[in-house]
Amino acid sequence: MKYDLIDKNLFIENRKRFVKNLLPESVAVLNSNDEMPRNGDGNFPFRQSSDLFYLSGIDQEQSVLVMAPDCPVPEYREVLFLRKTSELIAVWEGHKYTKEEARNASGIQSVYWLEDVQTIMTTILNHSKNIYLNLNENDRFSSDVPYRELRYSNELKSKYPNHNYQRSGPVIADLRAIKSPVEIALMQSAADITDSAFRRILGFISPGVFEYEIEAEITHEFLRSRATGHAYTPIIASGASANILHYTTNNNECRDGELILLDFGAEYANYAADMTRTVPVNGKFTKRQREVYEAVLRVMRAATKMLVAGNTIPKYHEEVGKIMEQELIGLGLLKAEEVKRQNEKSPLYKKYFMHGTSHFLGLDVHDIGDKYKPMQAGMVFTCEPGIYIPEEGFGIRIENDILITKNGPDDLMKNIPVEPDEIEELMARQRELSIQ
């Protein structure tokens, strides 16, 4: 792996907490993600299932994790099945886990090759009443493409119709939402790598540079810092493109006088950072750009303070909406009178700020978690207000990653420049250095 080996106690603890939630006489099975075909004989780069990784630390395709804490055969209570490596695989694909390495990464002692899965699973299933299956239960997931866990669920249900089927999804969602200190350290590494990339590009952005050149600089900094890569497709949006929320073509030339919105985050050891900064292409905000920027920054500061234990995402979004409303009135974009008369179900601020302020962050950028349950210490949320004004040719978003602690919010990106003066100074200084 590109990243340092993670302390296996993280995964041992995660499994302990997971199995505590199972009904008696249960088995839970988790599968690796598919290796997604691209074209011809090519695949997209493999990305492990976040759930399987969370419970095992195993970062390899075709792996299966089985937990059956009440199984009468003690060595089958926690089992890993792995792809058996061979000289041929070693020559063509490189190193795969040995059994000893898999034990060392996961803390699971019973490691078998996949060729044994049928025999061993028959025993485990015959001595279980409940089978926990792990479908994708992310609220935003919407895809018709059948995936490994879905195919596996259908197969098992047809072979074993008399078992009682349960969902792992809600159990894992609650566990994954609360980050342990080891996970927070990994997320901090992802945030720090993102910081380096941001500082790297501050001296590089200038009129005439193309968005994809900036993307290339970010990718360079990520890879040399041992990031697994981007946590999501980066948005490098100059000028009016910033108003396209999911702009990822990144193919325009940056022009003098424009702003550029940069939404990118490193993935380190499968943990995500998610950051947005908006900076002036020529290094200096205009009066109007700065005015709007400072409004967005005030909203971010106020919203961050509300990311505290006990609050809920829906209530929080409503409160942030009210703060944004006042800022938009101050900027002359909304009229106080119209806001007073607005339909509360479709508030006027949504014309300029049409997305949510926060989402869970962790192994996935839009991480799993129940947003209707109260926030708790250990949860990490983004905080990402924005104001998008197509008629003025720019959009501004600022996004940091916030850990909820017992003592209040802790900004994992507090060291990443965000004040407009600091951004202008850094851009000027780095340009001087590159000219010298």
Residue least distant from ligand GLY (Cβ): 263
Long-range Cβ contacts of 119-126 (<8 Å, 24+ apart):
120/76, 120/79, 120/81, 121/66, 123/71, 123/73, 123/76, 124/27, 124/66, 124/68, 124/71, 124/73, 124/76, 124/79, 125/27, 125/160, 125/163
- Exposure pattern of 204-224 as b/e (b: 16+ CB <10 Å)? bbeeebebebbbebbbebbee
CB of 382 to ligand GLY, least distance (A): 6
Among 123, 156, 232, 392, binds ligand GLY (CB under 6 A): 232
Q: Does position 365 bind ligand GLY by CB under 6 A? A: yes
Long-range Cβ contacts of 195-198 (<8 Å, 24+ apart):
195/413, 195/415, 195/416, 196/221, 196/225, 197/221, 197/222, 197/225, 197/264, 197/266, 198/262, 198/275, 198/277, 198/416, 198/417
Cβ proximity to Mn ion: between 246 and 406 the closer is 246
Partner from ligand GLY, Mn ion, none binding residue 197, C-beta < 5-8 Å depending on class: none
Q: 399 and 380 in contact (C-beta within 8 Å)? A: no
Binding mask 254-273 for Mn ion (x = CB under 5 A): ---------x----------
Q: Does position 384 bind ligand GLY by CB under 6 A? A: yes
CB of 8 to Mn ion, least distance (A): 30
No. of helices (H) and no. of strands (E), the chain:
13, 19
Cβ proximity to ligand GLY: between 221 and 263 the closer is 263
Other C-beta atoms lying within 10 Å of the C-beta of residue 375: 24
Cβ proximity to ligand GLY: between 61 and 401 the closer is 401
CB of 274 to ligand GLY, least distance (A): 5
Among 274, 325, 364, 367, binds Mn ion (CB under 5 A): 274
Provide the annotated active-site residues. Answer: 41, 246, 263, 274, 355, 359, 366, 384, 388, 397, 399
CB of 281 to ligand GLY, least distance (A): 21
CB of 276 to Mn ion, least distance (A): 5
Binding mask 252-291 for ligand GLY (x = CB under 6 A): -----------x----------x-----------------
Written as one letter, the residue type at 396 is I
Interface with Mn ion by CB under 5 A: which residues?
A: 263, 274, 276, 382, 399
Interface with ligand GLY by CB under 6 A: which residues?
A: 232, 263, 274, 359, 365, 384, 399
